[in-house]
Structure 1
Amino acid sequence: MEYVEDIIDIVIVGAGIAGLATALGLHRKGVKSLVLESSPTLRTSGYAIGTWTNAWHALDALGIGNKVREHHRLVERVVVLSASSGATSAELKLTGVQGKTGKHEFRSVRRDSLVKILAKELPKDTIRYSSKVVLIEDGDNLKLLHLADGSIIKAKVVVGCDGIYSAVAKFIGLKEPSFSGRLSTRGYAEYPTNHGFKPEFVVITGGGIRIGMLPNSEKSIYWFFTWRPSKKVADKVQQSMANMREFVIQKLTSLKVPKEIIQVIERSEMSQVFSTELKYQSPFSLLFGRIIKGNICVIGDALHPMTPDIGQGGCMALEDSVILARCLSDAVYKGKIEEGLEKFANERRWRCAEVVARAYIVGFIQQSSNWLLSFLREKVFARTLARALLKTPDYDCGKL
């Protein structure tokens, strides 16, 4: 039996990083919101996100930057290696390097740690669990959110933070993300004592693969492996976690990958290794498509899914959250919600399209096995591609 609840000003769909950060931004501005989460508890799956300078500007704006920093190690430099020769293609110093928006800062942040910090800062009744949205309808100037338990929530504003397969994005009419043709496997290794690795982000490219490894702390390491599979190979290796890990290790052993990196993958717990398709939103859809609809919008992966080649997925979600909270809180006070959302959309279109396109191009060049691109990548483009890691995060979303 359906039952209708009272009208709620702002409903956020999804209690991931984007949803919780938006709720916190609104809370800091004195605006109450309700976050609907389909899971029965806070979702802490996933391992780590590369958190660059732009993300730290956002976290500082939300007032939690230092709480996150104290648990995560500062990465001092980026080292790019060739998978075919093992030689160093490029090195990029990070510590003390000044950008347009301040000194560059990069850390690998555990996703569960960040989500818990965000949730702890919110008022107790902000997150409602086991609340899956199954249908969205228009209702005069409101949106009607039908939940799986039969209840209906009336919302003045709906913010979709429900990920790459967003129901809110579908309602708006945003184009579905495209498959990049690549898969990504990620893992996490923990050590009883100091693992001994330097605070460096090591990236190995070429031979049709891209692998990266960076420490979260002195006892934990996050790694990723991206590859372009044939259907036969993909079906086989994804039948079990054991097959997946064996495939990654065999692939890396056949290339010039340092043994210590392979050993990190060997010691990763099987429950901490998984594979996903890498998808991205068309930059043209972001520039010219509908990313808001009246009093409803999307942010984070629901708005701009991208390949992970410049480490900006989570960082861009945090940018979105601060900017939306600023635009939306001002609009709520003035009674001009649609104007506030339009302002948000105008501010984010070009930024999102540019970053999505840059990530795709960097990934295409880095992972290509074409002989000409491989030669140019290692002899000409390597340092330029490395610098792209600094250019993109040299951005400040501003204060709340």
Structure 2
Amino acid sequence: MEKSVEDVVIVGAGIAGLATSLGLHRLGIRSLVVESGDSLRTSGFALGIWTNGWRALDALGLGDILRSNHKQLTGTITTSVISGLTTSQLPFTAIHSWGKSDHELRAVNRKVLLETLESELPKGTIRFSSKVVHIETDHHHHFNSLHLADGTVLQTKVLIGCDGVNSVVARFLGFSNPSFAGRSAVRGLVHFENGHGFEPKFMQFFGKGIRYGVIPCDDRTVYWFFAFSPLQETETEVEEDPAKLKQFILSKLGKVSDHIRAVFEKTQVQNMVCSPLRFRLPWELLWGNISKDSVCVAGDALHPMTPDLGQGGCAALEDSIVLARVLAEALKEKASEKEHQRIQKGLEKFARERRWRSIDLISTAYMVGLMQQSDGVVMSFVRDKIMARFMAGMLLKKAGFDCGKLTVSS
């Protein structure tokens, strides 16, 4: 049985895992990232990164690298699929002379983001095909043991779970499996060889129990999502058959332009993925162990949420900066206090900083999604005539968060 000892082990090579590892690397702390898959997890195709996410990427030194390949969006437009009429338009304020606006949103290719994070890490940081099957904590010697599927045992001073909605580390800390939100979502990516011709805007569509969005990534690539309520029992095979799923989506688009419809028509079925939407019950975070001793969770392992605010990936990036900062302080500090005590206090500080932010995002996303996808007559009227601009503004409000710089106080 192979054994090895590491200072910091991060489970999961997704956005949170790689960004946390890179944040630690920037602060002079080595970590090992273990990933169950044999390559980077790039499902989902793209994600919207808002102002708060770009602040975190700037702190990691990657912002401008990613900006160069992804178009900045200038505003959001909301349209009713029932009437075909625009219900709200919200610009992201004026763009200043130095090229940045008060609010920044770009649809970023997930594969490009992960590969960019990986490229900045030292060689050998990620260990693929390493599935964690069991975790033990030795309280006497202050280390955690990770048993991998191949028989390897990793011992580490700090264990960070960034292993997604099905997190092994979250279960180890006592969290339940995330709850089903009563909706599913399809995500897709389509390439227009001669250009798509869309303005750089986030286009959202609501009504009849569905919600979808169309977001340009660059001049030729468009990312889209389509969220829907549970299907009838006779329709359950639709989610498992890509061809039927595509036809289902086309039948539900409602009153939209041929230009929008073409986005879905031209998407190849292999460039679509469907998954149920799940979220952490907010009250679990009130009393749950975000950290315990030298173990903690971040990213989707901490705060799985519905995509209605577009904040899942951004919140994971925020986590990475805060977590790298508190851990580097704990591991570098030269004080009379023992190292394991400094680590525990550092992770507790991370939990305090991220607990209410996570609860806020999870709760708001769920309520916004519930309202946006309602097909009731009264709720539809309130949403389209009264709440549309308010909900669009809510996206910007939650994106105004600043996780701070990647610096350690002396």
TM over 0.5: yes
Distance 1:136 1:102 in 2: 46
Q: What fraction of aligned residue pairs are identical, expressed as a percent?
A: 48
Distance 1:40 1:250 in 2: 37
Amino acid at match of 2:121: L
Distance 1:220 1:155 in 2: 42
SS at match of 1:103: coil
Distance 2:176 2:290 in 1: 9
Distance 1:191 1:163 in 2: 32
Match of 2:226 in 1: 225
The alignment covers a number of residue pairs equal to 394
Shift, 1:258, TM fit: 2.2
Matches within 5 A, 1:133-152: 133-140=132-139, 141-152=142-153
Match of 1:214 in 2: 215
Match of 2:392 in 1: 386
CA contact (8 A) 1:14 1:162 kept: yes
User: Among residues 46, 65, 79, which one is paired with 1:81 in the alignment?
Assistant: 79
Instruction: Tell me if 1:328 matches 2:327.
Output: yes
Match of 2:360 in 1: 354
Match of 2:242 in 1: 241
Shift, 1:234, TM fit: 4.7
Shift, 1:130, TM fit: 1.1
User: Which stretches in structure 1 are left out of the alignment for 5+ residues?
Assistant: none
CA contact (8 A) 1:95 1:105 kept: no
CA contact (8 A) 1:187 1:274 kept: yes
Instruction: Tell me if 1:365 matches 2:402.
Output: no
Distance 1:239 1:133 in 2: 28
Q: What whole-Å deviation, never above 9, does each CA across 1:304-335 have from its counterpart, x for those lacking one?
A: 01010110000000000000000111011132
Match of 2:317 in 1: 318
Matches within 5 A, 1:25-64: 25-64=23-62
Match of 2:259 in 1: 260
Structure 1 length as normaliser, TM-score? 0.96
Distance 1:206 1:183 in 2: 15
SS at match of 2:21: helix
Distance 1:267 1:149 in 2: 42
CA contact (8 A) 1:97 1:104 kept: no
Distance 1:261 1:232 in 2: 29
Matches within 5 A, 1:261-300: 261-300=260-299
Distance 1:308 1:54 in 2: 16
Distance 1:384 1:262 in 2: 27
CA contact (8 A) 1:16 1:115 kept: yes
Distance 1:233 1:105 in 2: 43
User: Which stretches in structure 2 are left out of the alignment for 5+ residues?
Assistant: 334-338
SS at match of 2:308: coil
User: Among residues 64, 71, 79, which one is paired with 1:66 in the alignment?
Assistant: 64
Distance 1:44 1:219 in 2: 20
Match of 2:405 in 1: 399
SS at match of 2:309: coil
Q: What whole-Å deviation, never above 9, does each CA across 1:213-234 have from its counterpart, x for those lacking one?
A: 0100001000010000235255
Distance 1:57 1:3 in 2: 40
CA contact (8 A) 2:77 2:88 kept: yes
